Structure 1
Amino acid sequence: MKYSTPDHSCIQEIDNVHSSIEKVLSKAEYYSPVSLLPLLRKVSTQKPYKILSMAPADFFDLKSCSSFYNYKVIPFVKVNALEFSSKNIFNLKYKLSHSLESEWITAEIRNHVAIRIPYSQKMRTPKYKDKSGGLTNEKIKAIKSMIKWMPKLDQDYFNTIIN
Structure 2
Amino acid sequence: MNETEILTAFHLRRAHYDTYLRANDIHLYTCPGCGFPTLPERNRFEICEICDWEDDGEDDHANSMITEVSHPRGGPNGNLSLKDNRINIGRILESHIELKDGEVDFDTASVLKTIEYYQRRKEDISNRMTGDESAQDHIRFEWKEVRNDLLAAMVVPKL
Normalising to structure 2: TM-score of the pair? 0.24
Normalising to structure 1: TM-score of the pair? 0.23
